[in-house]
Amino acid sequence: MKMLFKQRFSAWFDKIDIFDEAGNILYTVRGKFSWGKHLTIFDSAGNELGAIKEEVLVWKPKFNIFIGTNQVGSIYKEFTFGRPKFTTDFNGWQVEGNFFEHDYGVFNISGQRIATVTQKLLNWTDTYVIDVVNSADALYVLMFVLAIDANKATRNN
């Protein structure tokens, strides 16, 4: 299953639509003003599915993942040289990518690929193609991509 994530210029306070290969909206992400980044994910019918919330005043940038009001995991960037590495407490998944973080994969505890994320370069805004092996994992993979993108935006500010 492939998804396209095209961020707008003011995405943290605006709306991001996530499309399937046919151009249909699968998810909508809305950012809201808060202490730290806060993104809420909705399905195509407008039902709230989950949220990404930045934890503030911590040593490493950390983003918590919520389904409803239940925190189901978190993701944070490790301090490494060369290839960036993100750690999560959700299902033992890990995220590894190249030095510039434009391409990365999500892997399970056995090292099997869950998804591949590729950033399309030379676009006005961040544009990602997310290729998910099992469509049942699509929402969680999207949350990881959003958390990693938010992490990059936090570091660049």
The domain limits of the chain are 2-73+120-156
* pLDDT at site 99: 47
Q: How far is CA 135 from CA 38, 79, 87, 141, in A?
A: 25, 31, 22, 10
Residue 125 has pLDDT above 70, yes or no: no
CA dihedral for 18, 100, 152, 82, sign (positive or negative): positive
CB contact at 8 A, 54 and 61: yes
Task: Give the residue among 34, 76, 29 at the shortest CA–CA distance from 51.
Answer: 29
Q: How far apart are CA 157 and CA 154, in angstroms?
A: 5
What pLDDT was estimated at residue 6?
73
> Is 149's pLDDT higher than 50?
yes
**Most confident of the ranges 9-13, 85-89, 110-114:** 110-114
Q: What is the DSSP secondary structure assignment for residue 78, as one 8-state letter?
A: -
Instruction: Tell me which DSSP letter residue 110 carries.
Output: T
